[in-house]
Amino acid sequence: MTLSRAQAFQFVSTLVNQLQALGDRKDEILTFMPELRQAILDTLSNACTGESSLTPAHAKEILKLALLGVRQTKRFTSSAEEAASIWEPSKWSDLSSKLASSDRFKASVGLQAMCKQLVQLLQESNTAGTKASGKQKAATKRKADEVAAEDEGTASSGKKAKHKKARKEKSG
C-alpha cells in the first residue's frame, strides 16, 4: 500500500466522521457508502493475497473507517435492512475468513474481530431513533434508582453530606 493510498483513506475517514454536519445530503451520502465499502473490501482482499504491501496497522485503520462508515450509514438510513444492503454483511464475514487464512494477517486476530463487529453492527435492529430511546430508558432507570435510594432514608444521604464537609475542614 502506497503512502498516498493510506493518506487517502485517512482523509476519507475525516470526511466520513463529519457527515452529520452535511445535513440534507442523505442521498449523496447513501450513494457514496457502497463505493467506500467496495474500495475497503478490495484493498483488504488484495492485501490478503499479497497484491499490496498493506501492514496490519494500516488494515486496522481501514477497518476503523469501515466501522465508522457503517455507524454513519445507520444514522442516515430508515432501517437496519437498508444499512445492511449497503454494507453487505456476508462480504465482511468472507473478509474475516480471508484475513484468518492470510499469512500476513492471520496473527492479527483483532482484524478478524473488527470484521465480526461490523457484521454485528449490521445485524442489530437499532437505528438512530431506537438508540436514543435506549439511552432514555437507561437515564430513566438511573433516576429511578436515585429515587429509590432517597426513599430508603434521607439519613444516609445526610451522613454523606456531613462526611464531605468534615473532609473539607481537615484539608483546609
For residue range 104-155, list pLDDT tens digits in order.
898 999 999 999 999 999 988 644 444 444 455 455 455 555 544 444 444 4
**Arithmetic mean of pLDDT, 71-97:** 92
Largest separation between any pair of C-alpha atoms in the chain = 70
Mean pLDDT of the chain: 78
pLDDT of residue 144: 52
* Closest listed residue to residue 90, CA positions, set 119, 123, 120: 119
- Rounded Cα distance, 155 and 146, in Å: 14
CB 36 within 8 A of CB 12: yes
* Closest listed residue to residue 131, CA positions, set 53, 89, 77: 77
* Closest listed residue to residue 126, CA positions, set 169, 84, 86: 84
- Grid look-up 498516498 returns 4
More confident residue, 53 or 30: 30
Taking the CA atoms of residue 151, residue 156, residue 157 and residue 158 in that order, the dihedral angle to the nearest 10 degrees is 120
* Closest listed residue to residue 9, CA positions, set 59, 73, 72: 59
State the angle between helix axes of 128-151 and 154-171 in degrees (0 to 180), rounded to the nearest 10.
90
pLDDT of residue 132: 46
pLDDT of residue 165: 55
- Grid look-up 473532609 returns 167
Burial track 119-156 (b if 16+ CB lie within 10 A, e otherwise)? bebbeeeebeeeeeeeeeeeeeeeeeeeeeeeeeeeee
pLDDT band at 23; cut points 50, 70, 90:
confident
pLDDT of residue 154: 44
Answer whether 0.75 is exceeded by the pTM. Answer: no
- Grid look-up 499479497 returns 50
